[in-house]
A and B are shown apart, each in its own frame.
Chain A
Amino acid sequence: MNNGWKWENFFEAFPLILKGLGATVGLTFACFAFALIFGFVWIFLKHIPNKPFVWTVDWIMIFIYSTPPLVQLFFIYYALPMIPVIGVTLNPFICAVLGIGIHYSTYISEIYRSGIESVDKGQWEASKALNFSAFDKWRKIILPQAIPPTIPMLGNYLIIMFKEVPLASTVGVAGILTIANSYGALHFAYLEPLTIVGIIFLTLSYPASILIKKLEVKMNTRFDKNTIIAKPNKKVHKKMNFERSDHIV
């Protein structure tokens, strides 16, 4: 056993571990993207006008977010292939995206819901009075108002998921943690590589969370009179002038 801190281990392990960062970040974004999309699937399912169906969906969601993501990951990786008929063996990366992504999609769907509920009732009524189809109502009126205020919260979940993806190492998806572990096993030195992992997580998560705080302030004042006056909508202005001069010609 190799006791104590050795800088040569630190400098040797650092570039090796850093090589795994791409995989960790990539997996994070893959899980996040999946959760963002699947979050909408839950919302869609819950808007189907059939009470027993919606209750069933509710219970499935409660089940998913009340059980640990690690259990779900193991289930998809180890148990799913053993189910008769529908059982399939998936590659570890897909398992990780499904396991972590589905788990967090239930949280993200709750965030969407809070955003949707914050849209004024009058907006739904105006959409109806203007005879919007359900699809256009969501696309043009409701979601453009519901989603922007939730962006900071969604960003928080991106950070949380970044910290969760090392779970994927348990089913054999490589990342900074797996590299650190194997470095430790090989050299009988865990102190330096795991410290490095901690440092990497900190240097990415902390600035990201500060960025998100800033975003939050910005979002809260988004429809504020003064902030908008200070920044007129240039895009629309340009487009308009162009189109108008277009048919004057």
Chain B
Amino acid sequence: MSEQSVKDIEKINTLNTEQIVKYRNVTKSFGDFHVLKGINLDIYSGEKVAIIGPSGSGKTTIIRMLMTLEEPTSGDIIVDGKNLWKMKRNGTSIPANEKHISELRGNIGMVFQHFNLFPHMTILENCMVAPIHVKKEDKKEVQERSIQMLERVGLGNKLNFYPSQLSGGQKQRVAMARALVMRPKIMLFDEVTSALDPELVGEVLEVIRDIAHNDDMAMILVTHEMDFALDVADKVLFLDQGVIIEQGTASEVLEHSKNERVQAFLRRFRKI
């Protein structure tokens, strides 16, 4: 057995068999434009999933719907056994209200391409504001945890800096710390390195790698970093024009795919 497949089996054995997220026939249109055409997807607790594919194929849209930033046109997204966008009332299914959605949204965290840090707060305050005001946690405990988290991402010496005083790579690491202190069960990463100068990409990937190897939350990573995906992902999806045209282990999709389009895409990538 190859070293890679041993690694894959090890990874699978450590996975919880519980599906934390399910997409069932999910579609999304903007006007007449069908961005996603029937997405079916299972994500298990602790699983690390990479989504790759050409620009405009709908990668961002898939995870934005899970973060509730976009509502699906049809289909169901199940989070922790509950339908994210629908709820039952008197036996019939109705659109979920904010209370229902926010309960499930609490399981999910997201890191954005453009960081979206709060510019009027120090980086420590950026990390503390949500646990204190959203989860109503004890301020001291949150502060300790936030400092630990910022130390973990290598910014323990910049606690009182404002985002504007940091480099892009540092900002993105703060954004990760901010999402992590909320202790989500699922973390979403949308091309978190593509707004960065090339020399800053490494430090950010290093942090994600650390999280992926040491934390047991599920992760969905939209990425153009193929080597990185190969390293951290249990499962890779290839999305093309709103359809998942291939999924499998990282090695199956990124190294041994038989699919023409996947091969062409990866070839183009290698060349760049």
Contacts and interface: CB of A to CB of B under 8 A. Distances in A.
Contact of A130 (B98, B115, B160, B182): B182
A134 B97 CA distance: 13
Interface in A111-165: 120, 122-123, 125-126, 128-134, 136, 140-141, 144-145
A131 B69 contact: no
Interface string A223-249: 111001100110011001001000100
Contacts of A126: 112, 116-118
Contacts of A125: 67, 69, 112, 116
Contacts of B114: 122
Interface residues of A, number: 29
B143 interface: yes
Nearest to A130: B130
A133 to B, nearest CB: 7
B134 A128 contact: no
A243 B143 contact: yes
Given A125-B69, A131-B130, A136-B133, A240 B116 contact: no
Given A122-B112, A129-B67, A140-B133, A228 B162 contact: yes
Contact of B134 (A131, A224, A232, A236): A131
Contacts of B68: 128
Interface residues of B, number: 36
A233 B69 contact: no
Given A228-B164, A233-B160, A243-B143, A132 B116 contact: no
A229 B166 CA distance: 11
A231 B159 CA distance: 15
A236 B116 contact: no
A130 B162 contact: no
A237 B160 contact: yes
A18 to B, nearest CB: 42
B165 interface: yes
A222 to B, nearest CB: 9
A243 B112 contact: no
Contacts of B122: 233, 236
B160 A120 contact: no
Name the residue in B68, B110, B124, B134 with the highest tally of chain A Cβ atoms < 10 Å from its Cβ: B134
A126 B188 CA distance: 12
B134 A240 contact: no
A108 to B, nearest CB: 21
B88 interface: no
Nearest to A132: B134
B271 interface: no
Contact of A240 (B115, B124, B164, B179): B124
A212 to B, nearest CB: 21
Contact of B179 (A129, A134, A225, A233): A129
A247 B140 CA distance: 9
Contacts of B160: 232-233, 236-237, 240
Closest 9 A/B residue pairs (Cβ): A122-B116, A126-B116, A130-B130, A129-B110, A136-B133, A131-B134, A223-B164, A131-B105, A144-B120
11 contacts: A122-B115, A126-B118, A131-B130, A134-B98, A141-B129, A224-B164, A229-B165, A233-B122, A237-B160, A240-B159, A247-B140
Given A133-B134, A228-B165, A247-B144, 14 more contacts: A125-B116, A126-B118, A129-B108, A130-B109, A130-B182, A131-B105, A131-B130, A132-B130, A132-B134, A136-B134, A145-B120, A229-B165, A243-B140, A243-B143
